[in-house]
Amino acid sequence: MARIARLPDTVANKISAGEVVQRPASVVKELLENSIDAGASKITLSIKDAGKELIRIVDNGAGMVREDALLSVERFATSKITGVGDLDSLQSLGFRGEALASISSISHFELKTRTAQERLGLKLRYEGGVLAGESEVQGEQGTTISVRNLFFNVPARRKFLKSNATEYSHIYEIAKSFALAYPEIEWSMYSDDEELFHLKSPNIPERLNVFYGDDFAASMIELSDENDYLSIKGFLGKPAMQKRRKLDQYFFVNRRLVQNRMLSQAVQQAYGDLLVERQTPFVLLFLSIDPSRIDVNVHPAKLEIKFDDERNVRNMFYPVIKRTIQLHDFSPDMVVTENESSLLGSFQPSPSRKFSFPDIPHRLSTTDDLYRNYREGSYPEPVAPRVSPWHQPEISPNAEPSTGFVALERELRDGSEQLASVLLSPIYEDDVVPNPKDSEPKIWQLHNKYLICQIKTGLMIIDQHVAHERVLYERAVDVMNQSVPNSQQLLFPQKVEFRSWEYELFEEIRDDLYRLGFNLRLFGNKTIMIEGVPQDVKPGTEVTILQDMIAEFQENASKLKLDKRDNLAKSYSCRNAIMAGQRLSLEEMRSLIDNLFATREPYSCPHGRPVIIKLSLDQLDKMFGRK
């Protein structure tokens, strides 16, 4: 007896749905693509319960006659292509003929459609992929598809859906990307009967302002370049607008939203040193290329593409981005108030960043051998300093400094003022510290990014950002677990207006935010007032820190399986830590190192990156050929 049998269509559709429909956002993407392919000039998206209860797409496209409507829900039935050769000249977004069959098989599915030639429209109802009803209805030209109770008959898949905030954010990102890619279409979106946006203007900068705030588009750089092989148009964000979320990078190839590592890396490299570590620039780029030179049939969700000559595309794409960036002045405008004008010309270390933390009960100490090595340093017995015969003679206040000395001083100051002050001080023989009473370890800040410390056995290099991240992370964990008072009241409360998904996420972590030190009060619909913040939050950044924390929390939740408090602590420390490029005073550097070695795991940041690198004297001796 034969053991292999052909699967029934209902089973095959459910298997296919596992690839095509991974979450509510997958349904939204497929249905919106169908509406665009139908020539719609107006599309409305409505969702309830983050798409779990309802997803409805209404368009005014061409509509379908009865035969086409019935076939559209069959597997591998499509009007987009007729043969394999059509894949080489694909102009539509959809082409496989799987989407509606897959979606209808795992939901309560309803399709209403009418063409311009028909007086009445047609309504089809499916339950689990089986036709449950057919009737004629009144309606406007176009197609309306309603998807209810997604995954009702696949409980395992429904169980693995994320929180409403996460699922909503994925849907919102999909809708936003289509609204930016097709400005000629009028777009509307509703969530739980609340209008999120209604875009009528075909102007892309105006749409950017709707999604990202007033005057956002004014900070964009527009680019346009075209040759016989490739056309590139769009907008680049200035470095000041840099983000940590790859979601804020949009690449459209032939108006299809794609994810492509080569394009992302080329943009990152084009910006180069203008970006702070781990930051990505905002980009909205449209590439047009001969369809025969790309393959879009490489991913179930059609998010990935392959170029037939990726190196050639990069060689054209990268110089355009690089040249556009180089032609613009990115220097920020400095606005000086009356009170600040007297401070120009002298460095004023910011008093707002604190590294000395209140004691936390039961905090462990990791003052190990490396920390003792650092504290003890390598100091000889104090002796009277003897000035080296190579030391520059003292110059009287009225004397003109030599040209060479001024040039050297300027060069050193440009590299690092702090290091220059050390190198330009008198040179003492026997490496004796100038002040015999000063027993503090020697520390230098390199490029406002790394701390270099002398230790007994050589030197250690510390990444200041991840070091502070480790300190803040452990402090946040301890504060939340032990309910240690950590809030600092604001003189002037700050107002924050959340989007729907941000507010849902805020509600989810509200109690832990309070434990962490955020004193928050509701102030109207999806608006809160920040009345107090943790002691480590820099004044003036309260709103940004809270919004960035929520974005980071959501991103971690979608990618990593983290405990809620652990996720919040990671998000808080990552967003609030000092960044590469921030200048620290000597006391701040010492305090940071002392607090780092008071943590339980000083050698790696919460995300696993190394914090400390050591270089021994033996290694240095070998490098210089002494051994």
Band of residue 88 on the pLDDT scale cut at 50, 70, 90: low
Q: Is residue 427 part of a domain?
A: yes
CATH code at position 374: 3.30.1540.20
- The two tokens of residue 579 are 């960044």
Q: What is the mean pLDDT of the chain?
A: 78
Which of 187-191, 362-366, 424-428, 537-541: highest mean pLDDT? 187-191
Distance in angstroms (rounded) separating the CA atoms of residues 158 and 96:
25
State residue 240's pLDDT score: 58
Nearest by Cα to 63 from 161, 171, 144: 144
Domain boundary among 201, 235, 269: 201
Band of residue 50 on the pLDDT scale cut at 50, 70, 90: very high
Same domain, residue pair 45 and 159: yes
pLDDT at residue 435 tops 70:
no
Same domain, residue pair 190 and 286: no
Q: Is residue 395 part of a domain?
A: no
Cα 317–Cα 323–Cα 326 angle in degrees, nearest 5: 140
Nearest by Cα to 162 from 153, 175, 151, 176: 151
Q: What is the pLDDT of residues 309-331, one digit of tens each?
A: 999 999 999 999 998 887 775 54
State residue 426's pLDDT score: 38
Distance in angstroms (rounded) separating the CA atoms of residues 146 and 46:
9
CATH code at position 43: 3.30.565.10
Same domain, residue pair 77 and 195: yes
Q: Is residue 340 part of a domain?
A: no
Of 372 and 250, the structure prediction assigns the larger pLDDT to: 250
Same domain, residue pair 43 and 63: yes
Same domain, residue pair 431 and 454: no
Band of residue 299 on the pLDDT scale cut at 50, 70, 90: low
Distance in angstroms (rounded) separating the CA atoms of residues 13 and 129:
8
Task: Calculate the alpha carbon distances from 536 to 353, 485, 518, 532 in Å.
Answer: 7, 13, 11, 11
Cα 178–Cα 113–Cα 69 angle in degrees, nearest 5: 95
Bridge-based pairing of strands 306-307 and 294-295 is: antiparallel
pLDDT at residue 619 tops 50:
yes
Q: What is the pLDDT of residues 215-263, one digit of tens each?
A: 788 888 999 999 989 999 999 987 656 555 555 789 999 998 888 889 9
Task: Calculate the alpha carbon distances from 270 to 191, 203, 234, 305 in Å.
Answer: 38, 27, 15, 22
Q: What is the pLDDT of residues 19-47, one digit of tens each?
A: 568 899 999 999 999 999 999 999 999 99
CA 435 to chain centre: 47
The mean pLDDT value for 108-119 works out to: 95
> How buried is 31 (Cβ within 10 angstroms: 0-12 exposed, 13-18 middle, 19+ buried)?
buried
Q: Is residue 331 part of a domain?
A: no
Band of residue 81 on the pLDDT scale cut at 50, 70, 90: low
pLDDT at residue 298 tops 80:
no
Same domain, residue pair 134 and 226: no
**C-alpha torsion 9→14→16→20, nearest 10:** 140
Cα 224–Cα 173–Cα 504 angle in degrees, nearest 5: 145
The mean pLDDT value for 531-544 works out to: 87
Q: Is residue 264 part of a domain?
A: yes
State residue 408's pLDDT score: 38
Distance in angstroms (rounded) separating the CA atoms of residues 517 and 520:
9
For the chain, what is the domain count? 4
Same domain, residue pair 35 and 103: yes
Q: Is residue 236 part of a domain?
A: yes
Same domain, residue pair 278 and 310: yes
User: What's the distance, Cα to Cα, between the start and end of the chain in Å?
Assistant: 79
Same domain, residue pair 124 and 55: yes
The mean pLDDT value for 413-424 works out to: 42
Q: Which residues partner with 194 through β-bridges?
A: 191
Q: Is residue 551 part of a domain?
A: yes
Which of 94-98, 340-344, 394-398, 618-622: highest mean pLDDT? 618-622
CA 248 to chain centre: 7
C-beta of residue 178 within 8 angstroms of C-beta of residue 207: no
DSSP states along 333-364:
PP---HHHHTTTTS----SS--------TT--
Q: Is residue 396 part of a domain?
A: no
Half-sphere exposure of 462 (CA within 13 A, CB side): 29
pLDDT at residue 503 tops 70:
yes
| Residue 170 lies in domain | 9-201
The mean pLDDT value for 575-595 works out to: 88
Edge-first strand listing for the sheet containing 186-191: 130-137, 121-127, 108-114, 142-148, 54-59, 42-48, 186-191, 194-199
Q: Which residues partner with 288 through β-bridges?
A: 231
Same domain, residue pair 451 and 582: yes
Same domain, residue pair 317 and 419: no
C-beta of residue 535 within 8 angstroms of C-beta of residue 486: yes
Same domain, residue pair 68 and 162: yes
Domain boundary among 310, 326, 342: 326
Of 113 and 579, the structure prediction assigns the larger pLDDT to: 113
Q: What is the pLDDT of residues 597-617, one digit of tens each?
A: 888 888 888 877 788 988 888
Nearest by Cα to 406 from 420, 422, 391: 420
pLDDT at residue 379 tops 90:
no
